[in-house]
Amino acid sequence: MSRLPAQRLVAAVRAWRGFAVCKSCALRRFSIQPAQQKKIPNRYLGQPSPFTHPHLLKPGEVTPGLSQVEYALRRHKLMALIQKEAHGWDGLDHTVILLSNPTYYMSNDIPYVFHQDTNFLYLCGFQEPDSILVLQSIPGKSLPSHKSILFVPRRDPSRELWDGPRSGTDGAIALTGVDEAYTIEEFRHLVAKLKGESNIVWYDLTKPVHTELHSDYMQPLGEIKARKKNHIQGIRHLVQNLRLIKSPAEIERMKIAGRVTAEAFTETMFASKSPVDEAFLYAKFEFECRARGADILAYPPVVAGGNRSNTLHYVKNNQLIKDGELVLLDGGCELSCYVSDITRTWPVNGRFTKPQAELYQAVLDIQKSCLSLCSPGVSLENIYSLMLSLIGQKLKELGVLKSSTTESHFFKAVRKYCPHHVGHYLGMDVHDTPDISRSLPLQPGMVITIEPGIYIPEDDMSAPERFRGIGVRIEDDVVITEDAPLILSADCPKEIYHIEQICGRSS
């Protein structure tokens, strides 16, 4: 691929939400543009490529829907953040280091399916284990100018016979668009150059992703830097700040994940019957996600029938759901590196009882009120406060809380019936950017979940008997926009009438 013309490149940069850059910055060799694209090797790499998987990737894409330019922009933005953080550290070189995940083993030599560290993945799209991404400032040039380097596993026919193909240095450069690539063994030469006082290293010493690479290279380096009072700086918080605001391309990926999951929920509702095994609904949900293109489930789903829905992280999913009981299914998929997270509650026999319908409608009304608050300037903590107030009002109306409950005991009483938060950030991880405060005002491009619930255990003698053993949660995925919130899970049924209509088709 030839270099992008200047006008197209600057337009692409401006399209990146919240990204401000001058034209001269846009054309710097080691900043926004990836290197002159090299031809993808005519062989299988360690991950899909446009050559081997044209049904998944277009030319120039590193991962489905995300181009080399998109990944280069992310690296550029990270170095721009470092430029701000390093204000006053003039004359120093800066080196960012991120490790990939290792391969984890189920037992002996049986590996789990590899899943890449999401901070590493976010910045380069490379999906092989035992790799290192380095971003280096360029002597004589100011940040955010930099060069990007990957250190990757050496090609080894004897290992590839067992584990599958590796990209190698040529494949890594051609696929990801980084400036240089070397074998992992050559990383030690770079480490030797980083020991001097003129180089600031950005790396997460306290939370190593790859313990072996950390102990071989980074821990000794950290000890040397500490003795020279040139401490290694953390990088995780800066990457999370970038990941918090999704680009248009990322939101497109999340739309697909949301739609696939919504369709899987609908099919799982349709397959419900009474009695039904939780394991059957689990299997049905996973099948429908993967049949529509999902790579894996985003997390072990909760498939909780009856009173088990009052256990928030119930994942055994091995009990029989009886006639007349509700099932709470909290599930999502991962598709092209981005995830969904949806919860629905429905009657397996296709009909809500009157108490079930009362409690369900209360949660649905609360959820709709919370969704209406999803706009710029409001925080998840603000929405949480509203959720607690609304749950308290509904519980009083239903007779679960006494109308005489004092204000000082009100929120404690409410949290007994909803002990979790209203939502969390969502993206490449289910609980995305976990170090970012929920008190931060929402901005366009953020993606969050909204998931109020009411849980009344069967042994709660203080609650009306008709509600005991019922747990209800309703969760949607939401993109914050300048206008009305975009509900990624809008296709997933949640009105009582629609749920009964779908479940009733199978009875």
Q: State the pLDDT at residue 37.
A: 64
Confidence of residue 264 (pLDDT cuts 50, 70, 90): very high
- The answer to pTM > 0.75 is yes
Is 14's pLDDT higher than 50?
no
CA distance linking residue 401 with residue 399, whole number of Å: 5
Q: Is 289 exposed, middle or buried (0-12, 13-18, 19+ CB in 10 A)?
A: buried
pLDDT tens-digit readout, 420-465: 999 999 999 999 999 999 999 999 999 999 999 999 999 999 999 9
Q: State the pLDDT at residue 52.
A: 97
Q: State the pLDDT at residue 36.
A: 58
Is 6's pLDDT higher than 60?
no
CA distance linking residue 119 with residue 309, whole number of Å: 33
% of the chain exceeding 70 in pLDDT? 92
Helices and strands, counts by H and E, the chain: 16, 22
CA angle 362, 364, 368 (to 5 degrees): 120
- Residue 306 is encoded by which pair of tokens? 């009856």
Instruction: Give Cβ neighbours of residue 453 (< 8 Å, ≥ 6 apart).
Output: 343, 363, 418, 420, 471, 472, 473, 474
Average pLDDT over residues 232-254: 97
What single DSSP character describes residue 185? G
Residues 122/243, Cβ–Cβ less than 8 Å: yes
Residues in a beta bridge with 235: none
Residues 484/478, Cβ–Cβ less than 8 Å: no
* Amino acid, single-letter form, for residue 181: A
* Amino acid, single-letter form, for residue 25: C
* CA 323 remoteness from chain centre: 36
Average model confidence (pLDDT) for the chain?
92
Q: State the pLDDT at residue 229.
A: 82
- What are the CA-CA distances from residue 459 to residues 273, 455, 466, 467 (Å)? 26, 12, 12, 11
pLDDT tens-digit readout, 474-487: 999 999 999 999 99
pLDDT tens-digit readout, 46-95: 999 999 999 999 999 999 999 999 999 999 999 999 999 988 787 789 99
Strand segments, DSSP code E, in 154-222 are 180-183, 199-202
Q: State the pLDDT at residue 337.
A: 98
CA angle 309, 310, 311 (to 5 degrees): 90
Helix (H, G, I), strand (E, B) or coil at 338: strand
Q: State the pLDDT at residue 80.
A: 96
Is 13's pLDDT higher than 50?
no
CA distance linking residue 80 with residue 184, whole number of Å: 27
% of the chain exceeding 90 in pLDDT? 86
Q: Which of 27-36, 114-123, 183-192, 283-292 has the lowest mean pLDDT?
A: 27-36
pLDDT tens-digit readout, 305-350: 999 999 999 999 999 999 999 999 999 999 999 999 999 999 999 9
45: phi then psi, degrees, rounded to nearest 5: -100, -170
CA angle 399, 499, 374 (to 5 degrees): 70
Q: State the pLDDT at residue 1.
A: 37
- Residue 102 is encoded by which pair of tokens? 């290792």
pLDDT tens-digit readout, 100-139: 999 999 999 899 999 999 999 999 999 999 999 999 999 9
Q: State the pLDDT at residue 23.
A: 35
DSSP annotation string for 85-145: HTTT-TT-EEEEEEEPP---EEETTEEPPP---HHHHHHH----SS-EEEEEE-TTS-TT-
Q: State the pLDDT at residue 378.
A: 98
